[in-house]
Structure 1
Amino acid sequence: MAMTGSDLVAAFPRQLVNDVRAVLAVMPEARIAPASPFPVYMGDEAVAIPYRIYQDELPADVVCSLTVVQQAILHCLYSRHCDGLVRQRHLERIASSDELWVVPFVVQLAGEYVLEILESIQHGLSDLPSKRSAQRMAYGDFIARNPGFFARTERRVVSYWSCYYRWKFPTFGTYPGCHLLELLRAAAIDRTGVPWPRHTPPD
Structure 2
Amino acid sequence: MTYQPAFPAAIQPAALALLEAMTTSQLARVHQGFQVNLQGELLSAPARLYCSPGDLRALIDHATGDHRTLALCLGTRHWNGYVREECLRRFIATDRPWTAPFLVQLLGEYVIEIVELIASTTPQATVQNLADFARENPKFMALTRQRATSYWDCYFRRHFPSLQTYPAIRTLNAMDALAQAA
- Per the TM superposition, whether the score is higher than 0.5 is yes
Report the equivalent of 2:139.
148
Report the equivalent of 2:175.
184
> Given residue 83 of structure 1, which amino acid in structure 2 is its aligned partner?
N
Rg larger for: 1
Cα deviation code 1:110-163 (max 9, x no counterpart): 011111011111233131xxxxxx422211111111000001111111111010
Cα deviation code 1:22-55 (max 9, x no counterpart): 4345434211122222210010001211111111
Name the SS of the counterpart of 2:10 in structure 1: helix
Q: 5+ unaligned residues in a row in structure 1: which ranges?
A: 128-133, 192-203
Shift, 1:62, TM fit = 4.5
- Residue 120 of structure 2 corresponds to residue 123 of structure 1: yes
Matching residue within 17, 20, 23 for 2:18:
23
Report the equivalent of 1:164.
155
Matching residue within 4, 9, 23 for 1:14:
9
Asked whether the 8 Å contact 2:59–2:71 carries over to 1, the reply is no
Q: How many residues get paired? A: 180
Larger helix proportion of the pair: 2
Q: 5+ unaligned residues in a row in structure 2: which ranges?
A: none
Report the equivalent of 1:2.
2
Match runs of 1:49-198 below 5 Å: 49-57=45-53, 58=55, 62-127=59-124, 134-191=125-182
Asked whether the 8 Å contact 1:39–1:49 carries over to 2, the reply is yes
Distance change in 2, residues 1:177/1:25 (3 Å): closer
Between 60-69 and 33-42, the greater mean CA deviation after superposition: 60-69
TM-score, normalised to structure 2, is 0.89
RMSD of aligned C-alpha atoms? 1.8
Name the SS of the counterpart of 2:36 in structure 1: strand
Matching residue within 40, 47, 53 for 1:44:
40
> Given residue 166 of structure 1, which amino acid in structure 2 is its aligned partner?
R
Aligned mates of 2:107, 2:56 — CA distance in 1? 27
Shift, 1:63, TM fit = 3.0
Between 13-22 and 143-152, the greater mean CA deviation after superposition: 13-22
Shift, 1:61, TM fit = 5.4
Aligned mates of 1:139, 1:99 — CA distance in 2? 10
Asked whether the 8 Å contact 2:60–2:72 carries over to 1, the reply is no
TM-score, normalised to structure 1, is 0.81
